[in-house]
Amino acid sequence: MKEITILGSTGSIGVNTLDVISRHRDKFNVKALTANTNLDVFLDQCIQYKPEYAVMADEDCASKLEEKLKKEAPDVSILAGTDGLLQVAELETVDYVMAAIVGAAGLLPTLGAAKAGKRVLLANKEALVMSGKLFMDTVLQNNAELIPIDSEHNAILQILMSSGLEYNIGVKNFYSKTIKRITLTASGGPFLNYSHNKLSNVRVTQAIKHPNWKMGKKISVDSATMMNKGFEVIEACLFFGLKPDQVKVLVHPQSIVHALVSFYDGSTISHMSNHDMRIPISYALSWPGRYKLNIKSLNNDKFNNLTFFEVKKGQFKCLDLAFKALKMGFNAPTILNASNEIAVEKFLENKIKFIDIPVIIRKALKYVPTKKNSSLSSILASDELTREYTRELIKKI
Ligand code: NAD
Ligand code: MG
């Protein structure tokens, strides 16, 4: 029986994780669930799963939850704020931590789980992008197991394991002895092939309606700008110890092939599945084995119309900016992530246009100073400075 904490249980990944776990109640016990403000969904989850701990980042919501749970599930301990998140990520009795909070808010508990040597199922890519080397060092120094949840990276891990390679996530130059290149596929989002003119008028409702995946709002916008793919390129370099020019992006609107690994012997192996996040979640939970997951399997008729397009330089500005940040090194990805978070938040509030997002991030990368220091305090300071800079910049738009 494995004990699991789910950080961000009310989100799209959190709900899918609980779905997979409910099929394996004999293998997993939900030790802790966490949420921010979604009281209704969280209350139902607490009543259904009866975790030992329930954490709400928002203190007012935590008080309301306590009141409501008194009758229905009096044994659940309610915690609040970042301290509460950190506490359940580090609990000694916890084996697995699903890191599914969106954005930089997930950094401290996810890092805490790594420090405590847990199996970290990493969906919260922003936490990894903003803390890069610090995060990977923490994983390696504390013998944590880092399993990617992003479908592309999870697909790569499946390919590597199926090819008989050892698990060595985060070890620089380990996989690059065998792997020449990896390719991440991208659906291209809802605005693939839109002209600049057409893009300048897109609305929030259009941007959060992804053609293939049902996801939280922030990652949906990131998918529409292709910053999500940019983050995934950074993620891939960190996970698999590769150089930026070893990671390629291929537009594949059907989202059936998730990633391709090209080996030095001339073989390229790909991973295919329906676009359903329960598949990578199940693999991360079962790794190195596989569980039975009774969901719709991939039918051969899906192969009739699979298409792939090379990404042209300049086609996706946010993707180019992510490559730029990766090549700038130091804490440039921290600046990339923080300015993107603020820009996306303001776009969702209808304060800026969709096409303003890359313009803002480009400026932040240019004007916020990059630092060599990769300590946690330096990362948090840089994150904060970038947020202030970006907010001021947006006021002037
Ligand atoms: P979501 O918006 O649906 O859910 C986010 C979760 O984080 C919620 O439970 C929310 O309560 C919690 N949260 C938000 N702000 C918080 C805060 N300040 N403090 C504490 N908790 C907070 O997002 P999602 O689509 O589930 O994505 C979660 C993460 O997984 C993101 O980093 C995303 O990039 C990544 N991811 C998602 C998908 C997907 O298919 N949805 C795929 C790959 C990776
Ligand atoms: Mg992905």
- Tens digit of each residue's pLDDT (9 = 90 or more) over 34-89: 999 999 999 999 999 999 999 999 999 999 999 999 988 999 999 999 999 999 99
Whether the model clears a pTM of 0.95, i.e. scores above it, the answer is yes
What is the per-residue pLDDT for 248? 98
The ligand that comes nearest to the alpha carbon of residue 189 is 2
Mutating to test ligand 1, I would choose from 45, 215, 318, 348 the residue with most ligand atoms within 8 A of its C-beta, which is: 215
Name 282's Cβ contacts closer than 8 Å, sequence gap at least 6.
20, 290, 291, 293
Q: Sign (positive/negative) of CA torsion 2, 53, 283, 299?
A: positive
What is the per-residue pLDDT for 297? 87
Query: Which secondary structure element, helix H or strand E, spans residue 14, and what is its range?
Result: helix 12-22
N-term to C-term CA, the chain:
54
- What whole-number distance in Å separates Cα of residue 243 and Cα of residue 237? 6
Task: Give the mean model confidence (pLDDT) for residues 305-322.
Answer: 95
| Cis before 288 (ω within 30) | yes
In the structure, which protein residues have their CB atom closer than 6 angstroms to any atom of ligand 1?
A: 8-14, 35-36, 38, 57, 100-102, 105, 123-126, 149-150, 213, 215-216, 218-219, 277
- What whole-number distance in Å separates Cα of residue 99 and Cα of residue 236? 17
| Radius of gyration over every alpha carbon of the chain, rounded to an integer in angstroms | 20
Going by C-alpha positions, the residue among 305, 342, 316, 100 that lies closest to residue 189 is 316
Is residue 280 over pLDDT 90? yes
102 alpha carbon to ligand 1 midpoint, in Å? 3
Which atom of ligand 1 is found nearest the CA of 85? 20
What is the per-residue pLDDT for 214? 84
Is residue 254 over pLDDT 90? yes
What is the per-residue pLDDT for 210? 82
Q: What percent of the chain has pLDDT over 90?
A: 94
Is residue 250 over pLDDT 90? yes
The ligand that comes nearest to the alpha carbon of residue 151 is 2
